[in-house]
């Protein structure tokens, strides 16, 4: 340690953390020594001695998914220059992984935690409830928050998209779904209930798979759908990757969008507005969600509120575009 340098000990600690409490002379000598020795304080010792860390743990189910990439960039934007480090955990849509990561995170006594969704296992909820830090659940809303919560209703959003297709006169609606995690299932229910209410639902026009979403998969599912239900005139996709696959497959089959087929995606990825034709989608506020989640978290941390229930509904927006313009 830099104690050799001058004739100090804890002063180094002070010089580093609150320079104003140390005389200019010492401060300078210490600064030089630190630079020379390449001294970097030991995070573990600091955490142990102070009993706190500046880690914000973030648990998301996928790193390959654009949706979470946007949330993440919002989180980084929200952190800005706040003195916190985000530590990312990838649960890979697995409850077991989530529990295991939770244990890892909790062992670090994080300053705060951001977790995805409302479908934690009992075990995970138990772990979370023992956490000595504020927690934000993101991506969804419901009335059973562990602590804070920010998101939107996937059920309502999917319902609105479906209503839009109906309103545009599409009657033989199909649903394409991949991955089928709990969020996706809520979207499906939103579709089904709205379609049923409008009298346009048919089980034969629903195709789902547990496989992860890709554009290629969208093309394949749509090909299946067309064979199974040739009279289909509208498709609501679980997400935009699938929708893009449908767009390409429809082009290949010379099925005209929007004249013969209405197409609606979900998430409103950037590319949907640029596609030809542009694709209707449900816009969600992912960046804002990530950003506000950290901001809420940091406020709770700084206010020393270990638990301060609150639910923020960010809503959604059906962006009507060329693919449903008839």
Partner DNA sequence: TTGTAGGCGTTATCAG
Partner DNA sequence: CTGATAACGCCTACAA
Residues that bind DNA (CB under 7 A): 1, 7-11, 13-14, 16-17, 20-23, 25-26, 41-42, 45-46, 48-51
325 contacts a copy of itself (rule: CB under 8 A): no
Judged by CB under 8 A, the chain residues 18 through 57 that form the site for a copy of itself are 38, 40-48, 53
Shortest gap between Cβ of 121 and a copy of itself (angstroms)?
15
Closer residue to DNA (CB): 84 or 152:
84
Task: Count Cβ atoms within 10 A of the Cβ of residue 159 and give its class: 0-12 exposed, 13-18 middle, 19 or more buried.
Answer: buried
* C-alpha atoms less than 13 angstroms from C-alpha of 258 in its C-beta half-sphere: 19
259 contacts a copy of itself (rule: CB under 8 A): no
Closer residue to DNA (CB): 29 or 292:
29
241 contacts a copy of itself (rule: CB under 8 A): yes
Joined together, the tokens standing for residue 222 give: 């749509």
Shortest gap between Cβ of 222 and a copy of itself (angstroms)?
11
Contact present, 319 and 282 (Cβ < 8 Å): yes
Closer residue to DNA (CB): 43 or 63:
43
76 contacts a copy of itself (rule: CB under 8 A): yes
Shortest gap between Cβ of 99 and DNA (angstroms)?
19
Joined together, the tokens standing for residue 91 give: 């649960």
Binding residue (CB under 8 A) for a copy of itself from 5, 202, 214, 311? 214
What lies within 8 Å, CB to CB, of 140 at 6+ separation is 117, 118, 149, 151, 152, 153, 154, 183, 186
Closer residue to a copy of itself (CB): 4 or 274:
274
13 contacts a copy of itself (rule: CB under 8 A): no
Which of a copy of itself, DNA, none does residue 20 bind to, with CB < 5 to 8 Å depending on kind? DNA
Using CB under 8 A as the criterion, which residues of the chain lie in contact with a copy of itself when the complex forms? Answer: 38, 40-48, 53, 63-66, 69-70, 72-73, 76, 85-88, 90, 92, 103-104, 106-109, 126-127, 130, 214-216, 218-219, 241, 244-245, 248-249, 251-252, 270-271, 273-276
């Amino acid at each position: 340690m830099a104690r050799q340098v001058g004739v100090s000990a804890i002063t180094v600690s002070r010089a580093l953390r609150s320079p104003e409490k140390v005389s200019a002379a010492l401060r300078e000598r210490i600064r030089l020594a630190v630079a020379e020795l390449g001294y970097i304080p030991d995070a573990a010792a600091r955490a142990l001695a102070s009993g706190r860390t500046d880690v914000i743990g973030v648990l998301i189910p996928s790193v390959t998914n654009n949706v979470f990439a946007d949330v993440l960039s919002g989180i980084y934007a929200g952190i800005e220059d706040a003195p916190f480090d985000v530590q990312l955990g990838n649960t890979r849509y697995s409850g077991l992984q989530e529990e295991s990561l939770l244990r890892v995170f909790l062992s670090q006594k994080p300053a705060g935690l951001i977790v995805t969704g409302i479908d934690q296992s009992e075990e995970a909820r138990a772990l979370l409830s023992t956490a000595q830090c504020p927690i934000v659940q993101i991506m969804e809303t419901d009335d059973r928050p562990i602590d804070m919560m920010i998101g939107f209703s996937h059920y309502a959003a999917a319902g609105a998209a479906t209503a839009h297709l109906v309103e545009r006169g599409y009657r033989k609606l199909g649903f394409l779904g991949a991955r089928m995690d709990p969020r996706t299932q809520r979207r499906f229910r939103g579709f089904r209930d709205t379609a049923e209410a409008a009298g346009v639902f048919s089980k034969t026009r629903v195709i789902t798979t547990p496989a992860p979403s890709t554009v290629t998969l969208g093309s394949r599912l749509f090909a299946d759908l067309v064979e199974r239900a040739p009279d289909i005139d509208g498709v609501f996709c679980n997400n935009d990757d699938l929708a893009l696959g449908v767009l390409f497959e429809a082009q290949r089959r010379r099925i005209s969008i929007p004249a013969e087929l209405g197409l609606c995606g979900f998430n409103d990825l950037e590319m949907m507005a640029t596609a030809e034709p542009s694709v209707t989608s449900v816009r969600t506020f992912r960046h804002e969600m990530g950003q506000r989640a950290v901001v809420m978290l940091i406020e709770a941390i700084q206010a020393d509120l270990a638990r301060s229930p609150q639910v923020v509904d960010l809503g959604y927006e059906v962006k009507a575009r060329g693919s449903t313009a008839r």
